[in-house]
Amino acid sequence: MDDLTAARLQMEVSLAFHMVFAAAGVALPVMMLLAEGLWIRHGHQEALALARTWAKATGLLFAIGAVSGTALSFELGLLWPRFLAFAGPLIGPAFAFEGYAFFLEAIFLGLYLYGWQRLSPHAHWLCGLMVALSGAASAVLVVSANAWMQQPVGFRLADGQPQDIDPVAALFNPSWPLMALHSTMACYTAVGFAAAGLYAWALLHDRRPERVGYNRLALAIALAVGLVGAITMPLSGDLLARRAAHVQPAKLAALEGQFRTERGAPLRIGGWPDPTLGETRYAIEIPRLLSLLATEDPDGLVLGLDAFPRDEWPEARIVHPAFQVMVGAGVLLLALGLWGAIAWWRGRRDGRWPRRPLLWGLVAGAPLGFVALEAGWIVTEVGRQPWVIYGVMRTRDAVTTVGGVGWTLAGFTLLYLLLGATLVILLRRLAAGEPAVPAPVAPPPAPHPTPQLPGA
């Protein structure tokens, strides 16, 4: 294995693991806040138990994520020094601000974890709000650096080096808002449905009366968070695809399996791209729909891969299937979330929510959010190839010239496997050791009247 392949594989393994921790760090604090808010407003002890459980899980995931993120920063410097030498002055502010967000999250997470019964309920909830906001800000700022790699701005290229550098323009690059929205909603979707699946499994297999209300409430909160993300994802994804048609047309051609430049281009569902023949075989084609989606004109011109030099083609045999998996998983999750919402609406009064078919559906759909998250990352990153900085620097020109990358690949892969195993063990112990309802804790003075919860 050559050093370029090993370096790319190492980043793929590391990012695939880290994205799971990062997504949980973005979405889980929101679920924690919703649970504590229900306790503050209505005095439900099940909600307090959930908030405490999810707070412990947030602290654990924060610690694991800090280790994996630190390892990633070392990898970036070790494997891609020429990329950092070029891009450092431009993307440095994004990582610097991300560091501030990280420390804010650590401070307020400490206050939240150790502030139970030491802070007033409202002050404690506000600390949790800062955890959620700073966690999201940390992820959004990292996306700024990646968005700049997709659409580099804020400099003038002279003799292969950046001149007249404008780090503010690089930080607020045009691709950042949509990519940040899409990635954040993807985190809510993945974590929400994964948690919903776990609590659906608990309802199917743990029928102890003292835990039924707890698991139902957890399922409702997780499903609500996941559904919000699932509804938003197609809208932001459509806008991202339209932007790609203008700023990264080769990526759009690869993800859609579009080899020929044509007007009235069809949208392809499924199929296998064949670069040798220049066609996507076995696909279901919807006439003119790709042109309509990409250009808002059913007869609009869509550039195919034939409009670009062969050595600048993204690998359509990876990008197109990944895109199909991402869209398919997103559609299934949206349908599953709407099913859950309708079932809750119908069964909220008689306590017959959720029923077993829905629970089994949620269990089956639990991994789909993370499948879509990883597939979307593949579309974003592989679709940019062969460029590490789109149109400016090729990936092969950014890799280290120092040998021995295979050894670091083995070492970092082992590290992430150990982190993953540690996380699973600790989360299982946390789930097994947490009581369904803690000792009663008084809510804030003068709580609002307590409504009837579904299934309570």
Number of H helices, E strands in the chain: 13, 10
CA dist 339 and 61 (Å) reads 30
Supply the pLDDT for residue 442: 56
Q: Kindly tell me if the per-residue pLDDT of 117 is higher than 90.
A: no
Q: Kindly tell me if the per-residue pLDDT of 104 is higher than 60.
A: yes
Find the radius of gyration of the CA atoms of the chain.
24
Instruction: Let me know the angle formed at the C-alpha of 235 by 229 and 236, rounded to the nearest 5 degrees.
Output: 80
Supply the pLDDT for residue 130: 95
% of the chain surpassing 90 pLDDT: 64
Supply the pLDDT for residue 93: 92
> DSSP assignment, residue 302?
E
Burial 317-351 (b: 16+ CB within 10 A, else e): bbbbbbbbbbbbbbebbbebbebbeebbeebeeee
Average pLDDT over residues 416-436: 76
Instruction: Let me know the angle formed at the C-alpha of 103 by 47 and 132, rounded to the nearest 5 degrees.
Output: 30
Supply the pLDDT for residue 452: 43
Q: Residue 361: CB partners within 8 Å, gap ≥ 6?
A: 336, 339
Supply the pLDDT for residue 310: 93
Q: Residue type at 60? A: L
CB 366 within 8 A of CB 189: no
Q: How far is CA 221 from CA 71, 85, 192, 194, 212, in A?
A: 33, 45, 8, 12, 14
Q: Which helix (H) or strand (E) holds 327?
A: helix 316-347
Q: 279 in helix, strand or coil?
A: strand
CB 45 within 8 A of CB 456: no
Average pLDDT over residues 134-144: 93
Average pLDDT over residues 448-452: 44
Q: Which of 5-14, 231-240, 308-317 has the lowest mean pLDDT?
A: 5-14
Q: Which of 135-149, 307-321, 391-405 has the lowest mean pLDDT?
A: 391-405
CB 254 within 8 A of CB 241: no
Residue with tokens 């959720």: 354
Q: How confident is the model at residue 449 (pLDDT cuts 50, 70, 90)?
A: very low
Supply the pLDDT for residue 14: 85
pLDDT in tens, 20-49: 888 988 999 999 999 999 999 988 889 999
Supply the pLDDT for residue 454: 38
Residue with tokens 């080096």: 161
User: Alpha helix locations (H) across 348-442?
Assistant: 356-365, 368-382, 405-433
Q: Residue type at 305? A: L
Residue with tokens 């993204």: 314
* Size of the chain, expressed as the number of residues it contains: 456
Q: How far is CA 212 from CA 191, 202, 207, 319, 322, in A?
A: 21, 9, 6, 43, 38
C-alpha dihedral, 259 to 262 to 263 to 266, nearest 10°: -30
Instruction: Let me know the angle formed at the C-alpha of 74 by 70 and 78, rounded to the nearest 5 degrees.
Output: 170
Look at residues 379, 104, 401 and name the one whose alpha carbon lies nearest to residue 256.
Answer: 379
Q: How confident is the model at residue 433 (pLDDT cuts 50, 70, 90)?
A: low
Q: Kindly tell me if the per-residue pLDDT of 456 is higher than 60.
A: no
Q: Which of 52-56, 203-207, 225-229 has the lowest mean pLDDT?
A: 203-207
Look at residues 393, 387, 395 and name the one whose alpha carbon lies nearest to residue 251.
Answer: 387
Average pLDDT, the chain: 88
Q: Kindly tell me if the per-residue pLDDT of 167 is higher than 80.
A: yes
Q: Residue type at 380? A: T
pLDDT in tens, 326-366: 999 999 999 999 999 998 888 777 667 888 899 999 999 99
Q: Kindly tell me if the per-residue pLDDT of 313 is higher than 90.
A: yes
Supply the pLDDT for residue 29: 94
The residues pairing with 157 across neighbouring beta strands, listed in sequence order, are 162
Q: How confident is the model at residue 411 (pLDDT cuts 50, 70, 90)?
A: confident
User: What count of other Cβ atoms lies within 10 Å of the Cβ of residue 213?
Assistant: 20
Look at residues 371, 342, 379 and name the one whose alpha carbon lies nearest to residue 358.
Answer: 342
Q: Kindly tell me if the per-residue pLDDT of 211 is higher than 70.
A: yes
CA dist 149 and 384 (Å) reads 9
Q: Kindly tell me if the per-residue pLDDT of 247 is higher than 70.
A: yes
pLDDT in tens, 286-297: 999 999 998 889
Highest mean pLDDT range out of 333-347, 411-425, 441-455? 333-347
Q: Kindly tell me if the per-residue pLDDT of 144 is higher than 50.
A: yes
Would you list the DSSP string of 141-175? Answer: HHHHHHHHHHS--S-EEETTEEES--HHHHHT-TT
